[in-house]
Amino acid sequence: MSEQDIDRQLVERARQGDKRAFELLVEKYQRRLHRLLSRMVRDAEEVEDIAQETFIKAYRALPNFRGDAAFYTWLYRIGVNTAKNYLAGRKKAMPTISDQAMDDDDDPDERLVAQDHSTPETELMSKQIALAVNEAVQALPEELRSAITLREMEGLSYEEIAELMSCPIGTVRSRIFRAREAIAAKLRPMLGTSQDKRW
């Protein structure tokens, strides 16, 4: 039985009033949702509030879950929209990679920055590259920042990102390509790579 099938069964049980079934879904996706939200909102307490609100909205919207998408894709969409509404209400900027996420050993951003801790020099260089990547990601327009974050940090497929962002896969590919190019442009001077090479 696939993860999606298990989630569908839990959703069905939750719809029938089995609170433990929904608790299992919360336990399963709470950490991933927190990681996603922490890249959009810096304050840990605000992340907690938004995560709780997301799960409350998801619980109330369970009758509308058709199962066309994976449960976590549906949940992430609710979370992203809740965070966007929260930030729009507070008129805050939307940073992408928090300092906590950069230091989180459990979820290293190795897909964007290959780290080598063999010497103090390489460690310093790795930190400088990580900061440059962070700055480059934060400077991206929202649609590029969201696409690259979902792909590189959350590891979602192009199909899942297209569903989350409500756009065609081709648009997702284009946004991720443009985001990578912008990040590469920022890193080229540091890495001494030529224009025809990305990294």
pLDDT for 20-58, tens place per residue?
Answer: 999 999 999 999 999 888 888 878 888 898 999 999 999
Interatomic CA distance for residues 76 and 84, integer angstroms: 12
pLDDT grade for 14, boundaries at 50, 70 and 90: very high
User: What is residue 122's predicted lDDT score, i.e. its pLDDT?
Assistant: 62
Quickly name the fold that domain 97-199 has.
Answer: Arc Repressor Mutant, subunit A (1.10.10)
pLDDT grade for 115, boundaries at 50, 70 and 90: very low
Q: Where are the chain's structural domains?
A: 1-94, 97-199
Interatomic CA distance for residues 79 and 83, integer angstroms: 6
More confident residue, 61 or 196: 61
Asked: is 1-94 a CATH 1.10.1740.10 domain? The reply is yes
User: What is the pTM (predicted TM-score) of this model?
Assistant: 0.54
Tell me the pLDDT of the chain averaged across its residues. 79
More confident residue, 175 or 108: 175
User: What is residue 20's predicted lDDT score, i.e. its pLDDT?
Assistant: 92
3-class SS at 116? coil
With pLDDT > 90 as the criterion, what percentage of the chain qualifies?
24
User: What is residue 91's predicted lDDT score, i.e. its pLDDT?
Assistant: 55
pLDDT grade for 111, boundaries at 50, 70 and 90: very low
Interatomic CA distance for residues 101 and 186, integer angstroms: 20
The percent of the chain in helix, strand and coil, each rounded to the nearest 5, is: 70, 0, 30
User: What is residue 106's predicted lDDT score, i.e. its pLDDT?
Assistant: 43
Lowest-pLDDT choice from 19-23, 85-89, 167-171? 85-89
Write the single-letter amino acid at 91: K
